[in-house]
Amino acid sequence: MTPTIALDGMGKAHGFLRLPHSRDDSAWGHVMIPICVIANGQGPTVLLTGGNHGDEYEGPIALHDLAYRLEAADVAGRVIILPQMNTPAFLAARRTSPIDGGNMNRAFPGDPRGTVTQKIAAYLNDAILPMADAVLDFHSGGKTLDFLPFAASHVLSDPMQDAACATAARAFGAPFTVKMLEIDDTGMFDGAVERAGKTFVTTELGGAGMARAETVAIAKRGVRNLLTHLGVLRGAVELRESRLLDMPDADCFTFAETNGLYEALIDLGAPLRAGQALARIWPVEATGKPPLDLVAKRDGLLVARHAPGLIKSGDCAAVVAVDLGLA
Ligand code: CA
């Protein structure tokens, strides 16, 4: 992997991370991953990433917008912007790479001698991440999930780092803020960043393979809020009301155990009681068959749902989060 711009230069530069990829349609071809570096004066380095999964759009929109508009004079420190981290997946509008099937968020710490996705992960892990003090990695639900818009941090064993991440997630200012307990972060960018001791914020801002005006506005405001909170941008964080959500255990998740037609019974953000039906699955082989109701296992509100009209056995049907009140 070769950057086409100096990553440690001052001022504003647009370029690429260029990865050799010899293939049928381009013998000496490369994968070109857009990168923008904006540096000025003294301050922290913040790495901003979108397109970790290629079918999630709020992050790429907010980060292309930021890379276009932000000038060096606006910055104290350094901002490194990768709007479409897994560029092959992003250009194919897919969660995973069409080159090697690689899921970027299961590829860390990567392998410089591995597949294209593993090589991208390795370069981010070994060359880019050590430069950063803080990382914001944008996610949304992709084509198959839709989320209430939230920023999140993980429960971490180091209390200082845990507090720094939680405070940064709150400063993002999404309508919801989540503290997540990650049981298995094998291969995830999140874990790689956190184990390196950095401040880390992630998001889920919508989904269904598209981006809404409301969620794009949350992403644009959130990234500027975070940069302001970290001291890279001047001014005050635009504080918004945010509700704190918790997803404490496996009872939050409902998975389909049959195929069929997905009928939502409530919408995102609606309150639920344990035992309440949240969706039903209609068999589609014939008329006259009863539907199967999917039932919430705990009180809370609907924070995510299956997005496509058809659902398959094993798909995540719904996620219920506990509402802890105003953050
Ligand atoms: Ca994602």
Tokens at 259, concatenated:
């195929």
Distance 56 CA to ligand 1 centre (A): 7
Ligand 1 centroid–CA 138 distance in Å is: 8
- CA angle in degrees (0–180, nearest 5) for 144-85-226: 90
- Position 249 scores a pLDDT of 87
What's the 107 CA to ligand 1 centre distance in angstroms?
A: 13
Please tell me the distance between residue 295's alpha carbon and the centre of ligand 1 in angstroms: 25
Q: How close is the Cα of 139 to the center of ligand 1, in Å? A: 4
Kindly give the interhelix angle for 159-172 and 213-229, rounded to the nearest 10 degrees. Answer: 130
Q: How far is the CA of 141 from the centre of ligand 1 (A)?
A: 6
In angstroms, what is the span from residue 72 Cα to ligand 1's centroid? 30
The reported pLDDT for the residue numbered 62 is: 98
Question: Could you tell me the distance, in angstroms and rounded to a whole number, from the CA of residue 207 to the centre of ligand 1?
Answer: 9
Q: Which domains does the chain have, with CATH numbers?
A: 2-246 (3.40.630.10), 251-326 (2.40.50.100)
Question: What three-state secondary structure class fits 223?
Answer: helix
Q: Determine the distance separating the centroid of ligand 1 and the alpha carbon of 95, expressed in angstroms.
A: 8
DSSP string across 140-172: --GGGEEE--EEEEE--SSHHHHHHHHHHHHHH
- Alpha carbon of 274 to ligand 1 centroid (Å): 27
Which is nearest to 105 in space by CA: 200, 213, 172, 18? 200
Q: 67-85 as b/e, with b when 16 or more CB fall inside 10 Å?
A: beebebebbbbbbbbbbbb
Ligand 1 centroid from CA 165, angstroms: 19
Residue 290 Cα to ligand 1 middle (Å):
34
What is the CA(182)–ligand 1 centre distance, in A?
14
**pTM for the complete prediction?**
0.97
Q: Give the Å distance between the CA of 55 and the centre of ligand 1.
A: 8
- 25 CA to centre of ligand 1 in angstroms: 30
Distance 142 CA to ligand 1 centre (A): 6
d(CA 236, CA 229): 8
Task: Tell me how far the alpha carbon of residue 293 lies from the centroid of ligand 1, in angstroms.
Answer: 27
Q: How far is the CA of 285 from the centre of ligand 1 (A)?
A: 32
Per-residue pLDDT of the chain (327 residues; tens, 9 = 90+): 999 999 999 999 999 999 999 999 999 999 999 999 999 999 999 999 999 999 999 999 999 999 999 999 999 999 999 999 999 999 999 999 999 999 999 999 999 999 999 999 999 999 999 999 999 999 999 999 999 999 999 999 999 999 999 999 999 999 999 998 887 889 999 999 999 999 999 999 999 999 999 999 999 999 999 999 999 999 999 988 999 999 988 999 999 999 999 999 999 999 999 999 999 999 999 999 999 999 999 999 999 999 999 999 999 999 999 999 998
Q: Distance between CA atoms of 268 and 7, rounded to whole angstroms?
A: 41
| Spatial CA neighbour of 208 closest among 93, 66, 64, 86 | 93
Q: Cα separation of 242 and 119, whole Å?
A: 38
The pLDDT value given to residue 75: 98
What is residue 183's predicted lDDT score, i.e. its pLDDT? 73
Give me ligand 1 centre to Cα 24, in Å: 30
| β-pair partners for 145 | 306
51 Cα: distance to centroid of ligand 1 (angstroms): 8
For residue 245, the CA-to-ligand 1 centroid distance in Å is 18
